[in-house]
A and B are shown apart, each in its own frame.
Chain A
Amino acid sequence: MGTPYPGTSWERGKLCNASDSWLEEEAIYMIKEAGIKHSFHWDLFHLFGKRTLKIINNLGAATIFFALAFMRIFRPKQFREIVQQVFYIGAKSSNIVMLIGLFTGMVLGLQLYYTLTKVGSEGFLGSVVALSLIRELGPVLTAIMITARAGSSMTAEIGILRISEQIDALYTMRIDPLHYLVSPRIAASIISFPLLTAFFDLIGILGGYLTGVVLLGLNKGSYFYRIHAYVEMADIRGGFIKSLVFAALVSTICCYQGYFTHLRTDSYGSKSVSLSTTSAVVLSCIMILIADYVVTSFLM
């Protein structure tokens, strides 16, 4: 039996597929060995087990994918690529992120002003808006916006490179596709997410100021004084930790989905790229919210 070429499975994107079929074959063999007869309950259990194994397999593969790509960030000839990706992921997303930040801050200012007025605490508007943005809304909404704008394009671009054999062409030229395609995107996301989160927070606080102070007549000094008094360094640090975690998650999920587009069993060609893009965006959003809860529970 021939073994795969050493150390090249990842570059050629074959490892995941091999593991899937192996698990399936193992399961079928074990069923036959145990002499289990087919029934509705057994089929249900089989389906559940198959899905669970697939999820665990994918989780493991994605983790290895991230680790390998992350290690390649520090190799030579990466600087130019990373700067280029920071431009695409960070600079080009800044307008949309700031626009969303402004309106999020404005609506928060509006909602919280009337809520706080009911308990006679409208003076706390600045601190409540700032804490909501810095701790939760800033990192989460920024990550979701970047996923929609840059994450989807990452998946689509890498997916098209895969189905048109351009990734294979890289391999034949002895250019490591993980090094050339994935690592710069992960590095650029790790740089861009916290920066854009900071922009989002600042513009959001200004949005809250516009509605609370300029439109509704709250005291200007009180708004900024409360922010200064109640926002601590730990809040800001927590927000940045979250944005770093989201950056790693979003970039890994989006690149992984694109890189393994050809292994999809539900469709082929351009359809598989579109499905991978959809999966990447949906999965990223879900993972952002799950990770948000997990990180928050650790930070509290």
Chain B
Amino acid sequence: METPLIEFRDVSKSFDGNTVLDGVNLNIYENEITTIIGKSGTGKSVLLKHIIGLLSPDGGCISFRGKPVNEMSKKQLDECRMQVSYMFQNNALFDSMTIFENVAFPIRQTTNLKKMEIEKKVMLRLEQMELADVVYKYPSELSGGMQKRVALARALVTDPAIVLFDEPTTGQDPIRKNAILSMIAHYRKLFGFTAVLVSHDIPDVFFVSDRILLLWEGKIAFHGTYEELSRFKHPIIDEFLESIESLRNELTGALSKEIFKYRYALTPDDIKEDYLK
């Protein structure tokens, strides 16, 4: 049986008495894209932060390549962390640095590469993200979507083996959203990295995911492939997927413009006028 790259065993975490993770068990395998879905505030980001070590569990055990993290020496842990990159939900860009400096920063600080090599590497990533014309701007001068792409470029610039994406497509237009998801899939194919995504972009995110985890009330309610998810009959899965579908129908995916107007008409006269036309 294949040893998981990252393994959670009965991991629990509480904040001020509020249990966020309640005995989470999961496996993340090498060279796979694993997507964590779940309602907002259910602890998806908390789970991701446990992987990188920003948070430590109150109980349970996290293992990296079969070795418990809390039994590792500082050097061993550092070697593990060297392979991991993290993209924050709110980007966490350094606001007093330019876009170029932001992306170059991890390489400048952690490697001994020459200035020209760093510049080449950074510009390549920025061009891939369509950010080549904003390299000397500051994060506050960019839109939310562009900031997200800068964060993505920074996460990928060190060529990590494992990348943790905390909502990488939030705030992007549909074209760029697809571009980011396909880029993740493309790079995985090219370089063979392992990706862990937290996303709400259903069903788009399913197309690139090898494995899906559903976090529900502090536990992993589902763990499997997309095909298994679509076959899996469970009230929680149905509720989660239906809630997204019904929301879409309710707001934007209405069957017709007339139904939308009927649903949200200010006065009955507005409806009459529309139908008379």
Query: Do A and B belong to a common assembly?
Result: yes
Residues of A participating in the B interface, judged by any CB pair closer than 8 Å = 1-8, 12, 14, 77, 164-166, 168-169, 171-175, 180
Asked if A168 and B53 make an inter-chain contact with CB atoms under 8 angstroms apart, the answer reads: no
Instruction: Compute how far the CA of A172 lies from the CA of B57 in the bound complex, rounded to whole angstroms.
Output: 17
- For A169, what are the chain B residues with a Cβ–Cβ distance below 8 Å? 86, 88, 92-94
Interface band, chain B: 20 to 34
Q: Give the residue name and chain of the A residue nearest to B164 (CB).
A: A172
- For A8, what are the chain B residues with a Cβ–Cβ distance below 8 Å? 53, 74, 77
| 20 A-B pairs (CB sep. < 8 Å) | A1-B58, A2-B58, A2-B59, A5-B56, A5-B77, A7-B74, A8-B77, A12-B54, A14-B56, A164-B95, A165-B90, A169-B86, A169-B92, A171-B53, A172-B52, A172-B81, A172-B84, A174-B78, A174-B106, A180-B109
Asked if A175 and B77 make an inter-chain contact with CB atoms under 8 angstroms apart, the answer reads: no
- For A180, what are the chain B residues with a Cβ–Cβ distance below 8 Å? 109
- For B56, what are the chain A residues with a Cβ–Cβ distance below 8 Å? 2-5, 14
Check B73 for interface membership: any CB of A closer than 8 A.
Answer: yes
- Given A174-B78, A174-B110, A175-B109, is A5 in contact with B53 using a C-beta cutoff of 8 Å? yes
Asked if B92 and A168 make an inter-chain contact with CB atoms under 8 angstroms apart, the answer reads: yes
Instruction: Compute how far the CA of A174 lies from the CA of B74 in the bound complex, rounded to whole angstroms.
Output: 12
Asked if A172 and B95 make an inter-chain contact with CB atoms under 8 angstroms apart, the answer reads: no
Residues of B participating in the A interface, judged by any CB pair closer than 8 Å = 11, 52-54, 56-62, 69-70, 72-74, 77-78, 81-82, 84-86, 88, 90, 92-95, 105-106, 109-110, 158
Most buried by B among A6, A14, A77, A169: A169
Instruction: Compute how far the CA of A173 lies from the CA of B69 in the bound complex, rounded to whole angstroms.
Output: 18
- Given A165-B92, A169-B88, A172-B52, is A2 in contact with B57 using a C-beta cutoff of 8 Å? yes
Instruction: Compute how far the CA of A151 lies from the CA of B89 in the bound complex, rounded to whole angstroms.
Output: 31
- For B70, what are the chain A residues with a Cβ–Cβ distance below 8 Å? 2-6
Instruction: Compute how far the CA of A3 lies from the CA of B71 in the bound complex, rounded to whole angstroms.
Output: 9
- For B62, what are the chain A residues with a Cβ–Cβ distance below 8 Å? 2
Asked if A77 and B109 make an inter-chain contact with CB atoms under 8 angstroms apart, the answer reads: yes
Instruction: Compute how far the CA of A7 lies from the CA of B70 in the bound complex, rounded to whole angstroms.
Output: 10
Give A173 Cβ to nearest chain B Cβ, in Å: 4
